[in-house]
Amino acid sequence: MPVPEKLLPAQLFNRCDPGEFAFSTTADLDGSTEIAGQERALDAIRLGMGIRRDGFNLFALGPSGTGKETTVLQFLNAIAPKEARPDDWCYVYNFDKPRSPKALRLPPGQACRLSDDMDHLVETLFGVMPAAFSSEEYQSREKEIGEALQEKQSSAIESIEHDAQEHEITLIRTPGGFAFAPIHEGKVIAPDVYMQMKQEERDKIEKETNRLRDSLQSIMAQFPKWQRETADKIKELNREVSAFALKPLMDEIRARYKEVEEVLRYLDEVEHDMIENFGQFLEKETPEEGPFMMMPPQFSPAGRKRSAVRYRVNVMIDNSKLDGAPVILEDKPATQNLVGDIEHAAQMGTLITDFTLIKPGALHRANGGYLILDARRLLLEPFAWEALKKALRTRQIRIESLAQLYSLVSTISLEPEPVPLDLKVVLLGERRLYYLLSTYDPDFNELFKIAADFENDMKRNAETHLAYARLVGSIAARDKLLPFERDAVARIIEHGSRMAGDATRLSSNLQAIRDLAHEAEYHAAQNKRTQVSADDVEAMLEAQRYRAARIQERMRDAMMRGTILIDTSSEQVGQINGLSVYSLGEESFGTPSRITARVRLGKGEVIDIEREVEMGGPIHSKGVMILSGFLGSRYAAEQPLSLSATLVFEQSYGGIEGDSASSTELYALLSAISGIPIRQWLAVTGSVNQHGQVQAIGGVNEKIEGFFDLCRERGLDGRHGVLIPASNVKHLMLRKDIVRAVEEGLFSIWPVTHIDEGIEILTGVPAGTPDASGAWPEGTVNEKVYGRLKAMAEKQKSFGKKPDGEPEK
């Protein structure tokens, strides 16, 4: 198998030509941002927002920083102005059930108007009502009703007096009531004289007195009835007067809301209550009983009577200034911020509330439009996820006080009437969170039927180059940064490919691009430049690498001092330099690791020491097990595989995962079996399958750079290099110093497709290709491996025979 050619410098870095841009600086762009590379997600957003049916809410999933929020907002802000404005909502007092405030729906902009009208009405009544009840007409009619009662009572008493006088008896008024006494010639008969009268005369007087007393009691029994009738007449008069004063004001308000039936019914209830309770507008300091009629002074406007609080209008949603449907982004989706809250106020040591202390939530503000929530933050808030699901499932917003619901306070609370809900909810979150909810929450798939999956990266072409340029331009315009030269934009695009880990694609991590733009602009401003150049971008990229390089430099220093044993100059049997990647937070770096292999007689086992001590992950263990399959199928198809091999990452004190070292381990194993040394000035990465094909791995740029940095510090001599899978060539976006070293012949990179290509480069010995009979050419690596394994199989077989040559039973 021929040895592959070394990669050319042009293959190590996909350059972006600034000449492809028509602009000189980003100041020449219009500042708009194009959504590129997210067609799949945009189609899902368009579908989810277009279907007006229950459950067709949206979950936008993808890594953080990919522009999910920006894309969704940009889309919604484009369609929302074309939609109708939703209605206003307010809460008013429920005169029938004070603990259940009513929710009123009004046309956009009418809720605040109704609130102002009611406030003005109450203020007006505090002047109109006293004037109406202090008028001469009212005083005269009230006096007439009172005098009529007195006249009726006096007439009845006079009739009794007249009747008594006809029978020579007089009616006497005393502090204790009325009494009857006999008279003679106009004078009351003295008791001693009365006792000297004849019995017949006394009986006659007694009889008449009893009759008169019964008549008086009959009349007196009617007095309460007459008083009630008089009170009713006074009350009717008061209703008439208060209605006369109130009706013109109410008719004026009704005329403004004649097309809103709910408001007209509410105004009828208000009018009836005001007429029945007109006295509250007469006495300025009249206290009102009941917790729903009271309001703490700090919540009361100056001059407003607490008794009139029930006539106020609590405006929950005012859409008067809204242009189309609302688009609400709720940054803190706590339960009370979502569905609203019922606040309480302390008054004289007691917590009280009323309908004016009901506060709206994000669902109220977004009702009739769109609500955007961060899924992780939502799930972190107690009860918020369940509250959102309940609202979407029932299609109504029911405000419940959490303190009352969970008995955290002992006080009277409210049960406001639910508000009908009609909106689209968009959740933003990681893919893992989406799949967890989809698997473990039975309600999730019913409520969020559409998933908008955002790409981690996008194709790299002229269109996405321009989209990146527009993105940088919009960042500069929005954040008031210096303009970026086109070569600076080209360098940012190249870094976008590096972040994507693919020379043919660009990262969708817009947050990282924004951060880099800010840092580069800061560097340009510090150097008194008026534009951001490619040098500023490059300086900040170097600064980013430097800030994250502490651990990497410590490890390389340990290698330079011999604490960590890495050989880059000699040749060794069963020893090879593998390449690993360490990920710390957002940063990753590569470093070489020594891998060794040892073989002996055995039962065909390849022992992974990392797995045996539980320091190797399952994927790494799988890669090692594949080696047994390769060795058995290639070298021991017709004979036992009679070796026992051990593989280990030397000086590894942490866990190892991934199969990117499986080809490296196979090279070490082949060297240990054949006895052919491996060139230690080369390093290897790549996974392998049972057919010996080398497969792509991740982090190829970081791995190459980690080995290059060690070799450079020890001194490049033209021999150093790295073997990578040929399928990883398209992922190369290496640093400029590595490209320069390759140009100067100081460093080499070989693309490998098969294990035979790699072993030939590593040993300098041909791998060998079997002939028609299956025999390997003499002196090749494969021939030496086969011969050693055959000898081990024969030796293993010899241990099972008796001295006379007969096999043991």
Structure tokens at 749: 């990179």
Instruction: Give ∠ CA 300-303-309 in degrees, rounded to 5.
Output: 45
Candidates 666, 714, 724, 657; CA nearest to 690 is 666
- pLDDT above 60 (res 783): yes
pLDDT at 594 > cutoff 50: yes
Report the Cα 329 to chain-centroid distance in Å.
9
720 falls in which pLDDT band (50, 70, 90)? Answer: very high
This prediction's pTM: 0.80
Instruction: Go through the chain and tell me how many residues it has.
Output: 809
Strand partners, 589: 582
What local confidence, expressed as pLDDT, does residue 407 receive? 54
Is the pLDDT score of 143 beyond 90? no
- Look at residue 297 and tell me whether its pLDDT is greater than 80: no
Asked whether residue 299 carries a pLDDT value surpassing 80, the answer given is: no
Rg over CA atoms, the chain? 48
Average pLDDT over residues 686-705: 93
- Whether the per-residue pLDDT at 809 is higher than 50: the answer is no
Using the predicted structure, report yes or no on whether residue 50 has a pLDDT greater than 60: yes
pLDDT of amino acid 272: 92
Q: Return the pLDDT at 803.
A: 56
Residue 641 vs residue 34, higher pLDDT: 641
C-alpha to C-alpha distance for 322 and 530, rounded to whole angstroms: 40
**One CATH from 3.30.565.10, 3.60.10.10, 3.50.50.60, 3.40.50.300 for 38-81+325-454:** 3.40.50.300
Residue 298 scores a pLDDT above 70 = no
The topology under which CATH files domain 553-798 is Ribosomal Protein S5; domain 2 (3.30.230)
SS3 content of the chain, % helix, strand, coil (to 5): 50, 20, 35
Distance CA 237, CA 144 (A): 11
Give, in order, the Cα–Cα distances in Å from 250 to each of 118, 247, 275, 603.
10, 5, 12, 101
pLDDT at 423 over 90: yes
Average pLDDT over residues 2-21: 92
* Average pLDDT estimate for 338-365: 87
Instruction: Tell me which CATH code domain 18-33+456-547 carries.
Output: 1.10.8.60
Looking at residue 722, what is its pLDDT?
Answer: 97
* 406 or 280: which leads in pLDDT: 280
When pLDDT is averaged across residues 46-73 and rounded to a whole number, the result is 90
pLDDT at 170: 78
pLDDT given at position 611: 63
Q: Across 178-182, 435-439, 774-778, which has the greatest mean pLDDT?
A: 435-439
Q: In this structure, are strands 58-61 and 424-429 parallel, antiparallel, or unpaired?
A: parallel
Q: How confident is the model at residue 410 (pLDDT cuts 50, 70, 90)?
A: low
Residues with active-site annotation: 660, 703
pLDDT computed for residue 807 by the predictor: 53
pLDDT of residue 795: 85
Which residue ranges make up each domain of the chain?
18-33+456-547, 38-81+325-454, 87-163+197-321, 553-798
Distance CA 310, CA 101 (A): 10
Per-residue pLDDT band for 158 (boundaries 50, 70, 90) equals confident
- The pLDDT tens digits for 734-775 are 999 999 999 999 999 999 999 999 999 999 999 988 888 888
Predicted confidence band of residue 793 (pLDDT cuts 50, 70, 90): confident
Q: pLDDT tens digit string along 384-397?
A: 999 999 999 999 99
**Burial 207-236, CB ≥16 within 10 A → b, else e:** ebbeebeeebeebeeeeeebeeebeebeee
HEC per residue, 348-407:
CCEEECCHHHEECCHHHHHCCCEEEEEHHHHHHCCCHHHHHHHHHHHCEECCCCHHHHCC
Range in 466-470, 484-488, 712-716 the model is least confident about? 466-470
What is the tens place of the pLDDT at every residue in 243-284? 888 899 999 999 999 999 999 999 999 999 998 888 888 865
- Where do the DSSP E strands lie in 113-212? 169-174, 177-184, 187-188
- pLDDT surpassing 50 at residue 63: yes
Q: Does the pLDDT value for residue 799 go beyond 80?
A: no
| Token duo for residue 460 | 């790299």
